[in-house]
């Protein structure tokens, strides 16, 4: 089975934006999983761990070190194009690593993952 790394922006000055980005990453990962894809989302998987383990939630160097081996285990990358994705240092680094490995990179727009009838 193909393993997907779901890259998406997270860090922002406004905590409400970070929460919205977390929720969007969770929804996008769920859509991919419902389609039968195996997905690792560093945001969806790591934010709860950071909260419960008192880890540095927005420390790019810390999370890149944790996520790098997981990215290297993946076959493809999906980039969730939330507002700010092009300015995200984390997404830029993840893209650089994926391209260096020759991974297929697919871009996913936010409206592609909202299930029909979902008002959220």
Q: Residue 97 belongs to what domain range?
A: 3-112
How many domains would you assign to the chain? 1
What pTM value is reported for the model?
0.88
What is the mean predicted confidence (pLDDT) over 37-63?
90
Report whether pLDDT(114) > 80.
Answer: no
Tokens linked to 57: 């939630």
- Torsion angle in degrees (nearest 10) through CA of 28, 30, 35, 40: 80
Which of 3-12, 16-25, 108-117 has the least mean pLDDT?
108-117
Q: Is residue 98 part of a domain?
A: yes
**Residue-level pLDDT at 12:** 94
CATH number at residue 105: 3.40.50.10400
DSSP 110: G
């Amino acid at each position: 089975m193909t393993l997907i790394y779901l890259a998406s922006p997270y860090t922002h000055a406004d905590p409400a934006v970070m929460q919205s980005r977390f929720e969007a990453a969770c929804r996008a990962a769920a859509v991919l999983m419902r389609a039968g894809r195996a997905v690792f989302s560093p945001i969806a998987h790591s934010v709860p761990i950071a909260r419960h383990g008192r880890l540095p939630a927005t420390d790019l160097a810390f999370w890149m070190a944790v996520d790098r081996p997981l990215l290297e285990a993946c076959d493809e990358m999906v980039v969730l194009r939330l507002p700010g994705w092009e300015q995200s240092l984390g997404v830029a680094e993840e893209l650089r690593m994926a391209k260096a490995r020759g991974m297929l990179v697919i871009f996913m727009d936010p409206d592609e993952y909202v299930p029909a009838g979902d008002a959220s």
